Amino acid sequence: MQLGSGNDQLMSDINVTPFVDVMLVLLIIFMVTAPMMVQGVDVDLPTATSEALPSSEENLIVSIDNDLKVYINDLEVSVAFLSEKLDAVMENLDKKEVYLKADKKVPYGVVVNVMSQIKKAGIESLGMITLPDDQEAG
């Protein structure tokens, strides 16, 4: 087959069709798997009337479930070693900020004990995660 005026030149155009196909497949995979990625431990949160604070970054979350197990994000930790674990995790971070998420059936004394362990680790800012009054825990 002859192209153009008859000289034997190579065609230097890039075929982008396979690249687009791969990108579309990856897009579909990420769209399907993104809703399945849930952070933290399943906790029945109490409700509160305060407004939500805007946040666009990933935060360190300490959770207490209804079986009184304590977690740092998804890692189960003993309350006795919570301050040491938090200290080790936070030594490389600039912002010493932790959010506490506790099931509403957890006794107040357990929550206060965990809060004291968090403060003992040198955390400068401790936030509490709750649900708005008009939203029920799922």
CB 45 within 8 A of CB 137: yes
Name the token pair of 66.
Answer: 């209804």
CB 47 within 8 A of CB 135: yes
> Token match 């206060």: residue?
112
State the maximum Cα–Cα separation within the chain, in Å, rounded to a whole number: 88
pLDDT in tens, the chain (138 residues): 455 566 677 777 888 888 899 999 999 998 888 877 766 666 666 666 666 556 556 778 899 998 989 998 888 888 888 888 888 888 877 778 888 998 888 898 898 899 988 888 888 788 888 777 665 544
> Token match 């005026």: residue?
5
Model pTM score: 0.57
In the chain, what are the domains?
47-132 (3.30.420.270)
